[in-house]
Structure 1
């Protein structure tokens, strides 16, 4: 991988204004495309000043920045049912190994026209920031159908209809290093829950780096190995291994901790938000167990919500509360909340991880055939890629 590439994503969702057949075509070509209107311009200031569309201008600006800077990109195509549950991961734009920073102006047939199928009609490669006049100078290189579409859009500042026959997308083409990965193989990609159409991938970006190195370069088979491959400005020395687990995986880890701490432990509801404010609902020989796993430092409100279940127990057992959160979240809580000593209920997630990492004797029952705690971590952090890929749409 070229050195020091940052991360970003593009989502092609079910709410997009392009038909799923167009999404299939983009996927097959290893392209991404955004649609914020059919103005054939790659100049964000032109979008804002001449067309009064700030949101579209900002999105086009980000697209052009990615082309010039180069990125490791995640592209989901969930608007197509056969492409849900995974994404393309690879590099786009210029880099130390690739000087191509072109942006694509893509003309798509969004409806069947005279018996022709939906999909990409033709496209132009233009430089980032190209304005309408620069695009217009190049449209003669398009097919007749595509040229007419672009000229109509130039003349009318887009299309008059709400649901036109064509769409003009702005896009990027993946470089050679691109592969499909399933969310099930990288839970952190799914948990990141990126909602915008196009943006930088900030929180949880180590999961995207891991997906790239595992799928595109076959250089890692354990999430912990990605720390040695992060760009210099990511301060990888400060990234703790516990941060490489997704939220769902941390919930599993905390449930395993409780299983080892209590005899005859069993979960009565699936782990992960079965009740509002409660992630783990379980029973043991002596207690009903309610636990919350949170990843934000503003914990007091969540802790009070968890403790409010004390008056709503569904059994005659005592209720035992556990609150798993960040170490800093414990600061400022005082000695007790609602009569419960903080020391008895608050457990830093990092401390749980450390116990598993060190095979702490307090979570190992020598009288049973429990899997070693370190083996639990190995299973959670293992990278094992699925062999299957989405169907071909050719």
Structure 2
């Protein structure tokens, strides 16, 4: 049974019987993507994650090639070892996703789906296969699935970070999800998402960084739209007679170095050029004309300001 968590509900008030009884401490966090093909609504309704990769009733990676073999292998690993999963079913629910637990020792469900209905489900051990059952339409799509337990339905409003394309792993149908780990674990524990800078999406972080500039500099004002106005900068403004150019990222050192290289084109005597990024991503050497400001400090400064605290509360779903 899926539990829908309202935007303004205090998560700590959720009763313990709504939380997972499975020990999730050592379980990895994964992402499962369902965007095309038949049966996506049925997968959502039955709270399963699944991979198609050819209409063959097999969970043996040796029966697939290249990426198909890799993903079937990953599905087997998840079933055997367990995982906390965030699952997107974009073709039927663009602004919702399921978060739940796959218990260690789970089976693989081989689903035969026709016209979006699951006609038959056969459970096998990970890595196993079966013969195509007689009497079923040959037009069936055959999904290899795993049952998810203790499901919670979350929305884009409640957990914006989990819907951020910059946080979601690209391309793969099933893969590890380090970027969503804190949020997924908090959901399973029935807790609020972490109240820190890591819970902000890239777009939200840009808003917070611009609020920081207003707080620390009374003369700062925006001169262009925030986020993606040009390919090289996220914030364009002015302070007194100086232009302000700023890039914002939650990325690591390599990503920051690439962005700083582009920011070099904006340095001159009448410009303030800023790189907002995690403290751990600061390069060993930097252009002296570019100011590096850790986003952790930005969050703390904004949170000390009355209007800034209100902004962060709204962005992180803490309003009640």
Q: Using structure 2 for the length normalisation, give the TM-score.
A: 0.80
Unaligned runs of at least 5 residues, structure 2: 1-19
SS of match in other structure, 2:75 = helix
Structure 2 counterpart of 1:105: 110
CA separation in 2, counterparts of 1:374 and 1:355?
9
CA separation in 2, counterparts of 1:292 and 1:267?
14
- Cα gap change, 1:70 to 1:328, in 2 (>3 Å): closer
Greater Rg by CA: 1
- Cα gap change, 1:284 to 1:126, in 2 (>3 Å): same
The one of 47, 72, 78 equivalent to 1:30 is 47
Structure 1 counterpart of 2:9: none
Q: Please say if residues 275 and 292 of structure 2, whose CA atoms lie closer than 8 Å, have aligned partners that are also in contact.
A: yes
- Aligned pair 1:197/2:173, yes or no? yes
- Cα gap change, 1:193 to 1:173, in 2 (>3 Å): same
SS of match in other structure, 1:223 = coil
The one of 227, 241, 260 equivalent to 1:303 is 260
Q: Deviation at 1:174?
A: 1.8
Structure 1 counterpart of 2:127: 129
Q: Please say if residues 107 and 168 of structure 1, whose CA atoms lie closer than 8 Å, have aligned partners that are also in contact.
A: yes
Q: Please say if residues 9 and 198 of structure 1, whose CA atoms lie closer than 8 Å, have aligned partners that are also in contact.
A: yes
Structure 1 counterpart of 2:32: 10
Q: Deviation at 1:278?
A: 0.6
Structure 1 counterpart of 2:102: 92
- Cα gap change, 1:383 to 1:60, in 2 (>3 Å): farther
Root-mean-square deviation over aligned CA pairs: 2.7
Q: Please say if residues 47 and 54 of structure 1, whose CA atoms lie closer than 8 Å, have aligned partners that are also in contact.
A: no
The one of 193, 204, 208 equivalent to 2:184 is 208
Q: Deviation at 1:212?
A: 3.3
- Aligned pair 1:185/2:158, yes or no? yes
String of CA shifts for 1:207-229, please: whole Å, max 9, x gaps.
2223333xxxxx323524xxxxx
CA separation in 2, counterparts of 1:296 and 1:210?
23
SS of match in other structure, 2:135 = helix
Structure 2 counterpart of 1:333: 285
Structure 2 counterpart of 1:157: none
String of CA shifts for 1:280-304, please: whole Å, max 9, x gaps.
1223454332211122213344223
- Aligned pair 1:47/2:45, yes or no? no
- Aligned pair 1:352/2:298, yes or no? yes
- Aligned pair 1:323/2:275, yes or no? yes
- Aligned pair 1:145/2:135, yes or no? yes
Q: Please say if residues 283 and 289 of structure 1, whose CA atoms lie closer than 8 Å, have aligned partners that are also in contact.
A: yes
Q: Deviation at 1:38?
A: 1.5
Q: Please say if residues 112 and 140 of structure 2, whose CA atoms lie closer than 8 Å, have aligned partners that are also in contact.
A: yes
Q: Please say if residues 97 and 154 of structure 2, whose CA atoms lie closer than 8 Å, have aligned partners that are also in contact.
A: yes
The one of 246, 250, 259 equivalent to 2:205 is 250
- Aligned pair 1:173/2:185, yes or no? no
SS of match in other structure, 2:44 = helix
State how many pairs are aligned.
293
CA separation in 2, counterparts of 1:210 and 1:269?
37
**The structure with more helix, counted as a fraction of residues:** 1
